[in-house]
């Protein structure tokens, strides 16, 4: 079951490998949840430049999909992507520092919430342009194919993104050239405030795969192991050279599209709908599933460890310096000509 997963089993010394995998999944889901809860607090206190899109409620599919990958596989995220690098194994300190725009962040503080690339774990990047990760993932997969290595690329995108032209171009090219890519649609039911059934002709995004001769499946995104199994199968297929798969995870975000008061009084979804999804919370469901194989005390210990890790990440981010002003002009394709107003008039 865990052959595809790479993690430090020595941490869980006496336990079987399967238990180690389950605990690591639980740990990463907890990290995704608590990371975003911390980001919400930072946002509310005015500490985050720009916006923040949280994936609280979607942790099952985020972690289940990422953990079906090998450490050297690639992953591409989107605008709602704090959790994706965490699921892929990135350390939370440099991610949190990036959120606060600090020089110790994964991108030296220049990317922020929607650009948490971390190449050290194969997290190739994220973008606020909806759907733009799809061609990036196809490019990475083409690169693997041309280099003759067996790395697979996993691409997360939303139900809204599936209505972009990018989606169809990416699906077509990946199918035509049998590229090693797994498309993971996080169908959380909404694009901002528009329900999927008012934006898409078909209820299931996965049905579109048939148009490209590509296999597809629908999974319960609140069930981490169900997602893990489906993506493991898709990854194996891609690694064999048999081409892409589209996996659609039905899921839900508890928060509004992004943080801030803008959506507070909007009625695009009901309280009852939100409450019903919370009854199927991915962390609670996973805890129930683990009940027979992992001691409750171990899970509680894990929750406490995650809490400490997030507190340490916040401390690290807070203590880190902002980038030096001259850093604004590094890592660019071209050095810009800078005209400073005062200097210009002084001649
Ligand atoms: C090309 C483009 N069009 C529109 C937007 C504005 N926008 C940002 S997120 C979003 C909704 C995306 O919905 P979905 O793909 O379902 O992802 P989710 O936010 O639900 O995770 C929109 C329309 C954008 N950023 N880029
Ligand atoms: Mg959506």
65-99 tens-digit pLDDT: 999 999 999 999 999 999 999 999 999 999 999 99
CB of residue 125 inside a 6 A radius of ligand 1: no
Residue 158 CA to ligand 2 center (angstroms) comes to: 5
Task: Report whether residue 322 contacts ligand 1, using a CB cutoff of 6 Å.
Answer: no
Between 347 and 97, the more confident residue is 97
The more confident residue out of 50 and 58 is 58
Q: Which pLDDT tens digit goes with each residue over 4-33?
A: 344 443 444 455 668 889 999 999 999 999
> Which value, to the nearest 10 degrees, does the dihedral of the CA atoms of residues 328, 331, 334, 338 take?
10
Atom of ligand 1 nearest to the CA of 128: 25
DSSP label at residue 260: S
pLDDT digits 0-9 by tens, 173-186: 999 999 999 999 99
Give the per-residue pLDDT at 169.
98
Which atom of ligand 1 has the smallest separation from the CA of 80? 21
Which one of the ligands is nearest to 84 CA? 1
Task: Give the integer Cα–Cα distance in Å for 214 and 175.
Answer: 6
pLDDT at 341: 64
The pLDDT, as a whole number, for residue 335 is 78
CA–CA gap between residue 206 and residue 72 (Å, rounded): 27
Q: How far apart (Å, rounded) are the C-alpha atoms in residues 245 and 233?
A: 9
Which structural domains are found in the chain, ordered by start? 9-346 (3.40.50.970)
Q: Which residues pair with 156 in a beta bridge?
A: 184
For the chain, the C-alpha Rg in angstroms (whole number) is 20
- Would you state the pLDDT for residue 20? 87
pTM assigned to the model: 0.93
Q: Which of 16-30, 33-47, 56-70 has the lowest mean pLDDT?
A: 16-30
Phi, psi of 9 (to 5 degrees): -70, -15
Q: CA triplet 45, 47, 49: central angle to 5 degrees?
A: 130
Q: Is 244 in the pocket of ligand 1 (CB under 6 A)?
A: no
Residue 2 has pLDDT above 80, yes or no: no
- Integer Cα distance of 29 and 23 in angstroms: 10
Residues 6+ apart with CB under 8 A from 228: 25, 64, 65, 67, 68
Ligand 1 atom having least distance to the Cα of 132: 1
Hey, is 336 helix, strand or coil? Answer: coil
**pLDDT computed for residue 7 by the predictor:** 42
Helices 133-147 + 165-176 axis angle, to 10: 20
Q: Ligand 1 centroid vs 43 CA: distance in angstroms?
A: 20
Instruction: Report the separation in Å between the CA atom of 160 and the middle of ligand 1, taken as the mean of its atom positions.
Output: 6
Kindly report, residue by residue over 149-162, the tens digit of the pLDDT: 999 999 999 999 99
User: Using a 6 Å cutoff on CB, does residue 101 contact ligand 1?
Assistant: no
Supply φ then ψ for residue 248, to 5 degrees: -105, 120
Atom 19 of ligand 1: nearest residue by CA position:
191
Whole-number Å distance between alpha carbons of 168 and 182 = 14
Among 192, 194, 197, the mutation site with the greatest number of ligand 1 atoms within 8 A of its Cβ is 192
Whether residue 289 has its Cβ less than 6 Å from ligand 1: no
The token pair that represents 63 in the structure block:
């972690």
Q: How far is the CA of 161 from the centre of ligand 2 (A)?
A: 8
Cα(208) to ligand 2 centroid in Å equals 16
* pLDDT one-digit tens code per residue, 208-258: 999 999 999 999 999 999 999 999 999 999 999 999 999 999 999 999 999
Give the mean pLDDT of the chain.
Answer: 92
CB 199 less than 6 A from any atom of ligand 1 = no
Q: pLDDT of 97-148, one tens digit each?
A: 999 999 999 999 999 999 999 999 999 999 999 999 999 999 999 999 999 9
Nearest CA to ligand 1 atom 6: 130
Backbone conformation region of residue 77, classed left if phi is above 0, alpha if psi is from -120 to 50, else beta: beta
> Could you give the angle at the alpha carbon of 18 between the alpha carbons of 17 and 24, nearest 5°?
85
DSSP lists the bridge partners of residue 74 as 153
For ligand 1, whether the C-beta of 128 sits within 6 Å is yes
Please give the distance, rounded to the nearest whole angstrom, from the Cα atom of residue 195 to the centre of ligand 2.
8
User: Residue 94's pLDDT is what?
Assistant: 98
Closest protein CA for atom 4 of ligand 1? 130
- Measured CA to CA, the distance from residue 44 to residue 309 in angstroms comes to 21
Positive or negative CA dihedral for 170, 118, 36, 247? Answer: positive
């Amino acid at each position: 079951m865990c052959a595809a997963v790479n993690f430090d089993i020595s941490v869980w010394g006496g336990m079987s490998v399967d238990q180690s995998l389950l605990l690591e999944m639980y740990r990463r889901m907890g990290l995704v949840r608590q990371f975003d809860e911390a980001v919400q607090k930072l946002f509310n206190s005015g500490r985050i430049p720009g916006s923040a899109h949280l994936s609280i409620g979607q942790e099952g599919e985020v972690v289940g999909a990422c953990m079906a990958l090998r450490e050297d596989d690639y992953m591409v995220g989107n605008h709602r992507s704090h959790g994706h690098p965490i699921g892929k194994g990135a350390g939370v300190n440099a991610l949190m520092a990036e959120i606060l725009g600090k020089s110790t962040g994964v991108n030296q503080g220049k990317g922020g919430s929607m650009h948490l690339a971390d190449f050290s774990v194969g997290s190739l990047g994220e973008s606020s342009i909806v759907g733009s990760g799809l061609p990036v993932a196809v490019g990475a997969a083409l690169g693997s194919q041309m280099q003759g290595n067996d790395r697979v690329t996993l691409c997360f995108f939303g139900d809204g993104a599936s209505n972009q032209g990018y989606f169809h171009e990416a699906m077509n090219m990946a199918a035509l050239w049998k590229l090693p890519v797994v498309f993971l649609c996080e169908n959380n039911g909404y694009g901002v405030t528009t329900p999927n059934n008012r934006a898409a002709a078909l209820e299931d995004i996965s049905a579109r795969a048939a148009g490209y001769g590509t296999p597809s499946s629908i999974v319960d995104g609140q069930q981490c192991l169900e997602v893990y199994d489906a993506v493991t199968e898709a990854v194996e297929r891609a690694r064999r050279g048999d081409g892409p798969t589209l996996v659609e995870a039905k899921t839900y975000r508890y928060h509004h599209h992004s943080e801030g008061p803008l959506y507070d009084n909007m009625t695009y979804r009901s309280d009852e709908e939100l409450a019903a999804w919370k009854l199927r919370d991915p962390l609670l469901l996973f805890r129930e599933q683990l009940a027979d194989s992992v001691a409750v005390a171990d899970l509680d210990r894990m929750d406490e460890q995650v809490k400490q890790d997030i507190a340490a990440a916040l401390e690290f981010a807070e203590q880190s310096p902002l980038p030096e002003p001259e850093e604004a002009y590094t890592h660019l394709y071209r050095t810009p000509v800078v005209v400073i107003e005062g200097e210009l008039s002084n001649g």
